[in-house]
Structures are given as C-alpha cells and as structure tokens.
Amino acid sequence: MSSSPSESKIQAGEPIIRIQGLNKWYGQFHVLKEIDLEVAKGERIVICGPSGSGKSTLIRCINRLESHQEGSIVVDGIELTEDTKHINDVRREVGMVFQHFNLFPHLTVLENCTLAPIWVRKTAKREAEEVAMRFLERVKIPEQANKYPGQLSGGQQQRVAIARSLCMNPRVMLFDEPTSALDPEMIAEVLDVMVGLADEGMTMLCVTHEMGFARKVADRVIFMDGGEIIEQNAPEEFFNQPKNERTKLFLSQILQH
C-alpha cells in the first residue's frame, strides 16, 4: 500500500524524538532554555504550564513551524536544519492538531483529508478517499464527508483535523491545546478520539490543561515555566507528590476549581 509510511530510520529502542540543548529566542526574548527531551516510540506525553511558558513553542519546534537557534532536534532519525527537504521529510511523519483547527475552508471535509496523501504521499485518489473515510468513521463523522468545515461545529471540526493528520499515517502526533477553543459540551468528543488514539499506541505529545486526560493516558507529564522543563514524572507521582514548589503552585491553581 503506497500510503504506508516508509521504513523508519531509527533502530529499535532508540528514541523517536531526541532534543538536546535546545535554545530559542524571539528577537531578544529567550523563549526556550536548554531543553533536553527524549520521546520513546509509543510514548504519550502531556505538557502543561502557564501561558508564555514555551510549551507550544517547544512542540512547534518539533515539526519546524518554529526554527531554533541552538541545540539539535532529531525526529525519526532526521535532524532538523535549514534544509527544506529534511523539514518536509519530518513533517510528513509528524501530524499536528492546532488549537483553532485550521481546516481548509474552501475544501470539503473529504478533500481536507485527501489533499496531503495525494500530493505528498502520491497515493491514488480512490485509495486516499477510502483511507480518509476509514479515519472519518473512526472520529465518528463519516456522514459529514462532503460538507465544508464552515458547516460543522467546533468539536466536529477538531475531529476532522485529527482525521486529516491521521490520513498521512504519521509516526508522531502533536496536539497544541486541541480543546481550549471548544465549547464545554464539545471537549469530551475530542478527548474521546484522543484517548482512542493513545490506546492504539500512537506516539503523542499533547499541550493541554485537561488534567483528567493526562491522568488517564499520559506515560509522562512535563511541567514547563519560563522556557524550561521544571519537572517531569509519571502522572501518578506528578499529581500526588509534585517535587517542585512551582509545580505545586500551578497544580493547586488549576485543580482547585
């Protein structure tokens, strides 16, 4: 099947993402400081922290939507540099879901899902459509396939966005606050899809404040503030015995309501 991913370039047991000594500045502002992070295949990571802590910037560096000035990021054996070809090679294997969905409003739901497989993976149109319908069924909206994004609710749009990423058969999925632009009634339907994805063993990095989701699926929870990773641990320990003062304060503020 031509839509299946190419052979992975990494050996068994090696991390699929390796970030070493990452530093990034926006002009004079030092937004990421000395980040080291390794993600194993199949690992599910939740990243939380106050706004401005650099958590979104960090995951946006992983598919080079943001460029970094120092350190190295290696994704699936490919180092991210200025080289456009390498960047596109990485992006092909890394799916991303955005806070504001970013569906293509001039294309139908089905076309949103088949565009990249057809033009990037060179999948035949028929086959791409079959795959897309399979994923749309999985996110439980196959009946909306021929509608335009503007005709769907926020929750439905975000589920289409997830399906769109999955159609590329990615090795890693990045979620950038996928539920924070949604009405409360729609958050559950999106989280359900994400839990299902986690259960199937997808490597996931989620920036989110849904702590229930973190407890349920995360292998590791990372807390960031001021551009640094302050603390990381398994969810059980992270929530019950945070080691850092700052983490404790953050958790008490978001969990008290």
Partner 1 sequence: MTMDTFVPKPSRKPPMSTVGPLAWVRANLFNSTTSALTTLLFFYLLWLYIPPFIDWAFLSANWTGTDRSVCEANPAGACWTFINVRLEQILFGLYFGANPDEVWRPIVGFLLFFSLLIPLLIEGMPHKKWIALAMLTVFPVVFYALIHGEWIGQPIANTSQWGGFLLTFVLAFVGILLALPLGILLALGRRSEMPVIRTMCVLYIEFWRGTPLITILFMASVMLPLFFPAGMEFDKVVRAMIGITMFQSAYTAEAIRGGLSAIPKGQYEAAAALGLGYWRRTVFIILPQALKISIPGIVNTFIALFKDTSLVSIIGLLDLLNMAQSAARSIEWKGYDIEGYLFTGLIFWMFCYGMSRYSQVIERKLDTNRRDN
Query: Which residues of this chain interact with partner 1, rule CB under 8 A?
Result: 63, 65, 84, 88, 91-92, 94-96, 98, 100, 102-106, 115-116, 119-120, 148-151, 161, 164-165, 168
In the bound state with partner 1, the residue whose beta carbon lies nearer, of 17 and 230, is 17
Q: Are 135 and 165 in contact (CB under 8 A)?
A: no
The alpha-carbon radius of gyration of the chain (Å, integer) is 18
Q: Are 49 and 55 in contact (CB under 8 A)?
A: yes
CB of 101 to partner 1, least distance (A): 8
Closest by CA to 175, choosing from 153, 200, 197, is 197
> In a 3-state reduction of DSSP, which class is residue 6?
coil
Q: How many H-runs (helices) and E-runs (strands) does the chain carry?
A: 9, 10
In the bound state with partner 1, the residue whose beta carbon lies nearer, of 165 and 247, is 165
CB of 94 to partner 1, least distance (A): 8
Tell me the two tokens of residue 233: 């641990």
In the bound state with partner 1, the residue whose beta carbon lies nearer, of 37 and 94, is 94
In the bound state with partner 1, the residue whose beta carbon lies nearer, of 63 and 208, is 63
In the bound state with partner 1, the residue whose beta carbon lies nearer, of 69 and 151, is 151
CB of 133 to partner 1, least distance (A): 18
Tell me the two tokens of residue 246: 């700052």
In the bound state with partner 1, the residue whose beta carbon lies nearer, of 179 and 233, is 179
Q: Which amino acid is at 175?
A: F
Query: Interhelix angle for 154-166 vs 184-199, to 10°?
Result: 20
CB of 242 to partner 1, least distance (A): 32
Count of alpha carbons within 13 angstroms of residue 90, beta-carbon side: 23
If you ran DSSP here, which 8-state letter would residue 32 be given?
E
